[in-house]
Amino acid sequence: FFVDKVIAMGARIVLCDPHRAVVVGPSPLRGATLESPDIRAGMALLIAALAAEGGSRVYNIGQIERGYERIHERLASLGARIERVAPEGA
């Protein structure tokens, strides 16, 4: 479940059931290594990474790009510092 990854970044989230969560905040987030499981969860992780202190790496961004064309360019135009890097071994 992707919420576990945001909790590991420092978010205070209480999972009530599979369809509800309570977010207690604000909470400072720390950078992390993340993997996008699908479009929506991947976008949530990307936003958390942008809000976090320190650097983050988000893998499997193809999931995000399926629903958000040129998202890195759009976010960069808003001031986000995003660097696309080639996958290791590519």
What confidence tens digit (pLDDT) does each residue in 43-67 have?
999 999 999 999 999 999 999 999 9
Residue 86 resides in a domain: no
Does residue 39 lie within any of the structural domains? yes
Per-residue confidence (pLDDT) for residue 90, from 0 to 100: 65
17 falls within a domain: yes
The answer to whether residue 83 is domain-embedded is: no
Q: Which residues pair with 30 in a beta bridge?
A: 53
- Structural domain contains residue 13: yes
In a domain, 43, yes or no: yes
Beta strands 33-35 and 12-17: pairing type? unpaired
Omega cis (within 30) before 18: no
pTM of the model: 0.87
Asked if 2 and 41 touch (Cβ cutoff 8 Å), the reply is: yes
Number of structural domains (the chain) is: 1
Q: In whole numbers, what is the pLDDT of the chain averaged over residues?
A: 93
Is 15 a member of any domain? yes
Exposure string over 14-27, b if 16+ CB within 10 A, otherwise e: eeeeeeeeeeeeee
| Owning domain of residue 9 | 3-77
Pair 21, 44: CB distance under 8 Å: no
- Would 89 be classed as within a structural domain? no
